[in-house]
């Protein structure tokens, strides 16, 4: 399996292309739900472009000794959002669909907890061939299932300490 290195420019252009695909579909939605952490930036930008409220759901499936080691999916007990209702038509956003388990289980989680939802569509930048589900909207289909290095991952290796602090 090869790796795919993404620059900030490529990342932002991909989000804009994703927005264009969603817009061209003419599908109307009430709210964007983004999956944190990977979908946070994507959801924020789409929320601004479409002028729709953003809700955040924390999920995690990578754990263990290796950044590439997938563990059991963990979904937060609540969504963070403003307002009382999620809405009947939800756009669920993440950065990528790898195995597809996160997207598939999150759709079920949302439908179980929010009976007012009539329709959920999914949007990601990257859709890998190994996924068990196909997102409704995506920018790049990746048949070789590469590991994707996103530009913000540089912050994962930062180590701060009190010795690093300096005051003017």
Assign residue 83 a region: left if phi > 0, alpha if psi is -120 to 50, beta otherwise?
A: left
Report, as an integer, the average pLDDT of 142-162.
86
Could you tell me which residues are beta bridge partners of residue 34?
Answer: 56, 93
Compute the mean pLDDT over every residue in the chain, rounded to the nearest whole number: 90
> What pLDDT digit, counting tens, does each position of 86-121 carry?
999 999 999 999 999 999 999 999 999 999 999 999
Which residues, listed in sequence order, are joined to residue 75 by a DSSP beta bridge?
59
CA neighbours closer than 13 Å in the CB half-sphere of residue 65: 0
Task: Give pLDDT tens digits for 105-114.
Answer: 999 999 999 9
Q: Read off the pLDDT of each residue in 145-149 and give the average, rounded to a whole number.
A: 93
At residue 47, the pLDDT reads 98
User: What is the fold, at CATH topology level, of the domain defined by 18-60+70-150?
Assistant: Rossmann fold (3.40.50)
> What are the angstrom distances between the C-alpha of 136 and each of 21, 58, 125, 159?
10, 21, 11, 38
Question: Quick check: helix, strand or coil at residue 74?
Answer: strand
How large is the average pLDDT for residues 143-168? 79
Q: Is 70 exceeded by the pLDDT of residue 64?
A: no
**What residues does each domain of the chain span?**
18-60+70-150
Tokens representing 145 are: 């299932």
């Amino acid at each position: 399996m090869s790796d795919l290195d993404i620059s900030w420019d490529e990342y932002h252009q991909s989000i804009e292309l994703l927005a264009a695909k969603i817009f061209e579909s003419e599908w109307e939605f009430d709210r964007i739900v983004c999956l944190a952490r990977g979908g946070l930036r994507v959801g924020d930008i789409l929320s601004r472009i479409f002028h729709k409220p953003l809700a955040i759901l924390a999920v995690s499936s990578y754990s263990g000794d290796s950044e590439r080691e997938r563990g059991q999916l963990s979904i937060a007990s609540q969504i963070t959002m403003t307002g009382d209702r999620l809405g009947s038509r939800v756009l669920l956003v993440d950065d990528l669909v790898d195995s597809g388990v996160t997207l598939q289980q999150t759709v079920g989680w949302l439908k179980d907890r929010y009976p007012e939802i009539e329709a959920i569509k999914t949007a990601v930048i990257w859709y890998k061939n190994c996924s068990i589900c196909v997102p409704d909207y995506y920018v790049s289909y990746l048949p070789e299932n590469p590991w994707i290095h996103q530009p913000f991952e540089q912050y994962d290796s930062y180590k701060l300490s009190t010795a690093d602090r300096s005051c003017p």
